Structure 1
Amino acid sequence: MTGLRLAKLPDRTPVKLAVSISPDLHLALSEYAALYAEAYGREEPVAELVPAMLSAFLDSDREFAKRRRAPATAS
């Protein structure tokens, strides 16, 4: 057990990601990528980790999951 919330990424097709972020967020993501490499023995670019982080965040959001499962209501 590594203690990181993000599990080791599975094999996947690379996805190109272009996004503008603050310098502070870039630093934090770079630090996380370094911890990821230390934990799993494999370096991953930040752009490869971010989609998994976002997916994990959405999967852990109960309200989002509840509303996503709810049938659409007609207005």
Structure 2
Amino acid sequence: MTLKLGPIADDKPVRVSIDVPAEVYRDLTAYAEAHASATGQASQGPAKLIVPMLAQFMATDRGFAKVRRQ
């Protein structure tokens, strides 16, 4: 299986609290399980996926890249 999200780096985090809808949390949980299976890493849980997913999204968002260049 190929997922867009690669291995998760182990950095020192900055704590941020967010509320997500239950449906999104269930999807993140399922994605975390699929990610663990695809990468061979132990499941990090859904919370650990949020930052890499956001980073991936921002890195590939052309509109955001254009704004940053200005």
TM-score category, normalised to shorter length: 0.7 to 0.9
Task: Provide the residue aligned with 1:26 in structure 2.
Answer: 25
- Give me the TM-score of the superposition, normalised by structure 2: 0.86
Count of aligned positions: 69
Alignment of 1:6-45 (within 5 A): 6-41=5-40, 42-45=42-45
Alignment RMSD: 1.4
Measure how far apart 1:50 and its partner are. Answer: 0.4
Residue ranges of structure 1 left out of the alignment (5+ in a row): 71-75
Distance of 2:58 and 2:20 partners within structure 1: 19
Larger Rg: 1
Identity %: 33
- Give me the TM-score of the superposition, normalised by structure 1: 0.81
Task: Provide the residue aligned with 2:64 in structure 1.
Answer: 64
